[in-house]
Amino acid sequence: MIFPKATISEIIGLLEAVNDSGGIEDVARLAADFDLEIDEILPSIDGAELLGLAVVREGNIELTTDARKLLDAGIRDRKKIIKDKVASVDMIRELIDRLRSEEEYKISKEEALRFIQKKISTMDIDSYFRIIINWTRYAGLIGYNSDSEEICLLQKER
Amino acid sequence: MLLEIRNVSKTYESESNKILALDNINFTVEDNDFICIVGPSGCGKSTLLRIIVGLEKPNSGEVFFRGEAIEPDNPKVAMVFQNFAIFPWLTVQENIELVLESLNRPDEKKIACKYIRAVGLDGFEKVYPRELSGGMKQRVGFARALAVEPVLLCMDEPFSSLDALTSQNLKDELLMLWADASMPPDAVIMVTHNVEEAVYMANRIIILSPRPGKVMADMRIELKRPRNRKDPEFYRWVDKVYSLIV
């Protein structure tokens, strides 16, 4: 699979900009508005699509109903919406299931990297790890302890 | 009146010459002002902000906070920096608790938690800055500044180290906090070189001239919130500010 290298802040920033254009915008114009190359804005667009917050059709990006809900919400409620969206991404759901099957709901970073490597074939596994942890921490799903180099489930119900 | 900047001038001296950075600056700040100070680079706007918070002394003139000369450790004034200025060896929570400790707040853990949640950093409490994206680092900067529950929040180019999309997101979230009457501060002074950003954020813009910085204009931005950057009315204001700078 392809996993987008964009942080949650970048994705929400993108949605806010599309919202200013009435909820639909030409991708090339959007990139130009931010002084970005198309390939610099694509990860955020892919991220918004993967989270079900935008659809891309014929060169236009359009907000979904959930994206509008997210943008109308305050900072606390945005986090709740993002949590549901992140939890429904296949790879993250599988990672959560894997953590649930562990005695203490945690695995080593090394194991996590192997897990990610199986899903995303990339030489740059560390930066994908950072992005996945950025998403799951923001969503309150999975944390990472850099002292013990372990990732763990943040909510411990099975 | 919250703050008064009265006849403030600042000169930098080197061995061979004297450079006048700020020339007789005067303005006042009231409750509910969200002021952006804009001007070309080198106009002394960051110097002015440092004088306002008491980190630098003017050569002449004074700054009064609620009628008294400003002190550098005034707990009612907080600052957010362009480069975040967070301690890399402390976690997110420890960075915020540290400023509360210096104020001897007995309930520092509770207050730190409140502002960590307010800026959407819950889940990141035990994380070290090196593991954070730029956007998350600046959220720590906001949480730390708000945690002292300041009356006046000063920000020096708080979005300019961030990528364009993250910066967009943080501006909107900061405005949400500003719109929330239960949250500090009562007034904001933000320095920026970005005119669109100033029109998007501020209800008042102070324009400084090229060096030496003088107040060229002090205008209210009469645009409803939430503002839309694609709105023709928004662009009329942007043009108006540009016309005064160029």
Residue A75 lies in a domain: no
Residue A31 lies in a domain: yes
Structure tokens belonging to residue A63: 């907000």
Instruction: Give me the pLDDT at residue B132, please.
Output: 95
Instruction: Give me the pLDDT at residue B103, please.
Output: 87
Structure tokens belonging to residue B129: 């800055």
The reply to whether A105 and A61 lie within a common domain is no
Examine residue B212 and say whether the peptide bond preceding it is cis (omega within 30 degrees of 0).
Answer: yes
Indicate the residue among A70, A101, A119 that finishes a domain.
A70
Considering CB atoms only, which of B120, B122, B135 is closest to A7? B135
The closest alpha carbon to B52, from B74, B83, B30, belongs to: B74
Whole-angstrom Cα distance, residue B118 to residue A77? 11
Inter-chain touch B120–A138, beta carbons under 8 Å:
yes
The reply to whether A145 and A98 lie within a common domain is yes
Neighbours of B213 (CB within 10 A): 27
The reply to whether A117 and A64 lie within a common domain is no
Instruction: Give me the pLDDT at residue A122, please.
Output: 82
Whole-angstrom Cα distance, residue A94 to residue A65? 26
The reply to whether A108 and A137 lie within a common domain is yes
- CB proximity B167 to A under 8 Å: yes
Inform me whether the pLDDT recorded for A105 exceeds 90: yes
- Asked whether A11 and B163 are in contact (CB, 8 A), the reply is no
Q: What is the mean pLDDT of chain A?
A: 95
- Residue-level length of chain B: 246
Q: What's A152's domain CATH number?
A: 1.10.10
Q: What's A50's domain CATH number?
A: 1.10.10.10
Residue A42 lies in a domain: yes
Considering CB atoms only, which of B120, B126, B230 is closest to A75? B120
Closest CA–CA distance from residue B120 to any residue of chain A (Å): 6
Residue A83 lies in a domain: no
The continuous run of DSSP H or E covering A150 comes out as: strand A150-153
Domain encompassing residue A33:
8-70
- A29: chain B residues, CB-CB within 8 Å: none
Inter-chain touch B127–A146, beta carbons under 8 Å:
yes
Instruction: Give me the pLDDT at residue A113, please.
Output: 96
Inform me whether the pLDDT recorded for A157 exceeds 70: no
Residue A78 lies in a domain: no
The reply to whether A60 and A95 lie within a common domain is no
The reply to whether A65 and A111 lie within a common domain is no
Residue of A5, A8, A10, A44 to mutate when probing chain B, most B C-beta within 10 A: A10
Instruction: Give me the pLDDT at residue B73, please.
Output: 85
The reply to whether A66 and A95 lie within a common domain is no
The reply to whether A60 and A92 lie within a common domain is no
Burial (0-12, 13-18, 19+ Cβ within 10 Å), B45 = buried
The reply to whether A146 and A108 lie within a common domain is yes
Instruction: Give me the pLDDT at residue A158, please.
Output: 55
Whole-angstrom Cα distance, residue B39 to residue B207? 6
Provide the number of structural domains found in chain A: 2
Residue A125 lies in a domain: yes
What are the pLDDT digits (tens) for A5-57?
A: 999 999 999 999 999 999 999 999 999 999 999 999 999 999 999 999 999 99
Structure tokens belonging to residue B183: 């949250």
Whole-angstrom Cα distance, residue A131 to residue B82? 23
Report how far apart, in Å, the C-alpha atoms of A112 and of each of A14, A133, B203 are: 29, 11, 48
Closest CA–CA distance from residue B128 to any residue of chain A (Å): 8
The reply to whether A26 and A66 lie within a common domain is yes
Closest CA–CA distance from residue A7 to any residue of chain B (Å): 8
Instruction: Give me the pLDDT at residue B28, please.
Output: 98
Strands (E), A58-137: 60-63, 106-108
Residue A82 lies in a domain: no
Considering CB atoms only, which of B123, B169, B229 is closest to A12? B169
As a whole number, mean pLDDT of residues A87-107 equals 96
- Residuewise pLDDT in 10s, chain B (246 residues): 999 999 999 999 988 899 999 999 999 999 999 999 999 888 999 999 999 999 999 999 999 999 999 988 899 999 999 999 999 999 999 999 999 998 888 899 999 999 999 999 999 999 999 999 999 999 999 999 999 999 999 999 999 999 999 999 999 999 999 999 999 999 999 999 999 999 999 999 999 999 999 999 999 999 999 999 999 999 999 999 999 987
The reply to whether A12 and A52 lie within a common domain is yes
Closest CA–CA distance from residue A118 to any residue of chain B (Å): 23
Task: Tell me what ipTM this predicted complex has.
Answer: 0.94
- Residue-level length of chain A: 158
Neighbours of A27 (CB within 10 A): 17
Whole-angstrom Cα distance, residue B180 to residue A105? 38
- A9: chain B residues, CB-CB within 8 Å: 133, 135-136, 165-166, 169-170
Neighbours of B208 (CB within 10 A): 24
Whole-angstrom Cα distance, residue B163 to residue B171? 12
Q: How far apart are the first and last CA of chain B?
A: 31
Please, which residues have CB within 8 angstroms of residue A9's CB and are 6 or more apart in sequence? B133, B135, B136, B165, B166, B169, B170
- Asked whether B156 and B56 are in contact (CB, 8 A), the reply is no
Residue A80 lies in a domain: no
Examine residue B185 and say whether the peptide bond preceding it is cis (omega within 30 degrees of 0).
Answer: yes
Tell me if the pTM is above 0.90.
yes
The reply to whether A120 and A147 lie within a common domain is yes
Q: What does the buried/exposed string (b/e) look like for B95-117 if buried means 16 or more CB atoms within 10 Å of the residue's CB?
A: bbbbbbeeeebeebeebbbbbbb
3-state secondary structure of B65: strand
- B163: chain A residues, CB-CB within 8 Å: 10
The closest alpha carbon to A91, from A41, A54, A126, A128, belongs to: A128
Report the percentage of chain A scoring pLDDT > 70.
Answer: 98
